[in-house]
Amino acid sequence: MNEEELTPSQEEENDVLQEAEEETGTLSEEVSDEEETAEKSVVKDQVGSDGYKKQRRQKRYRAPLIIAACAFAVTILFFCGWQCFFNTDIKGCWKLEISIPDSDKKAEYNFTFEDNNVMRYQTGGQAAIGRYFLSKKNGKDLLTFFLTNGQNYPLSAEFNYSFSGNIFTGRHLSLTDLSGFLLVPDDKDADSENVAAKQKITGSVKENDTTYYVWDLTTPSHEEFKQDKPAEDFREDKQLTGTWIYKAEEDGFDYTFTFNSDGTFEQRNFESEIHGTYSVSDGKCKVSFYSLSNELMDGELAYSVKDNVLTFGTHQFTRTDDKNAYKIKSSVK
């Protein structure tokens, strides 16, 4: 359909209308610019020139700050989720409970893995201190540790290890004993299979006709030294109360004794720690504690204190303020 042709008078009328519309638009833009300028002038009058510039800068930086805050929140949520459900860090204190043969009681053992590959194995009133190492063997995670029990008797073991659970249901550390490490053998001459069976260890796996026993450890836990209550008629010797250190002169190691005013004592050296009770009578000191095998151990020695020197049996100690003042001497590693 062809457009209707306009007469010269109609064309002139259209041109006039178009010019009027253009002038109106230009006027509207000028009015808008004037209104914006007026608004800015009002804001400047209200907050001042410096305040106005500050508001503009705040608006300019607000979006990046919001983005950074969101990214930080996502990172925190990811880290918390990993800690809750996927944490495979062995560090911390893990508890192992084993049924005592022919009893409804359970024995408790605490394994604490610290920084710098330091390990503590605690049960009864004693803790053995040593080193642990994590590695791979035959494609499986391997835990190896070396301990002593304070009497130069080496304790060493190898375990395959794995983790399960989470912080809500409880984290579990599963240790598969590859070396026949025994905790509390009823008979020191018994073979490992019979002893392990008596101890009713959590479970077992069989590989290549060899049975390996599995321990199930849980966390969080903390060391609880087993010790009897001091005697009701305990009498404190204030000369004895405090911490004393024995310093080895030749190859060997220092150790400390701490006698507390409540009838408890602590003995520490670089490889073990003992907590127990003591009593004094007629110039003799009797100490009692539970060993790593949960046996009650005790001994009695004559003692005397003179000029801040404690003579305990055949050893002489000097007073110190530091329970951990012991040092390893020369060739002792």
All residues at 6 or more sequence positions from 192 whose CB lies less than 8 Å from its CB, including other chains:
180, 182
Q: What is the pLDDT of residue 185?
A: 41
Q: CA separation (Å) from 111 to 47, 94, 120, 200? A: 65, 5, 6, 19
Q: What is the pLDDT of residue 14?
A: 59
C-alpha closest to that of 273 among 141, 119, 134 = 119
Q: What is the pLDDT of residue 47?
A: 47
Q: What is the pLDDT of residue 255?
A: 87
Could you give the residue ranges of the DSSP H alpha helices within 100-208? 192-199
Could you give the residue ranges of the DSSP H alpha helices within the chain? 8-85, 192-199
Residues of the chain with pLDDT under 70: 1-63, 77-86, 99-103, 105, 148-154, 167, 180-207, 209, 211, 250-252, 327-333
**What gap in Å lies between CA 75 and CA 312, rounded to an integer?**
58
Strand partners, 120: 112, 129
For 112-168, write each residue's pLDDT tens digit: 999 889 999 888 898 888 899 999 988 999 999 888 655 555 678 899 999 888 767
pTM: 0.64
Side-chain half-sphere CA neighbours of 236 within 13 A: 11
Phi-psi region at 165: left, alpha or beta (left = phi > 0; alpha = psi -120 to 50): left
Q: What is the pLDDT of residue 97?
A: 80
**What gap in Å lies between CA 124 and CA 108, rounded to an integer?**
8
The amino acid sitting at 208 is N
**What gap in Å lies between CA 74 and CA 39, rounded to an integer?**
40
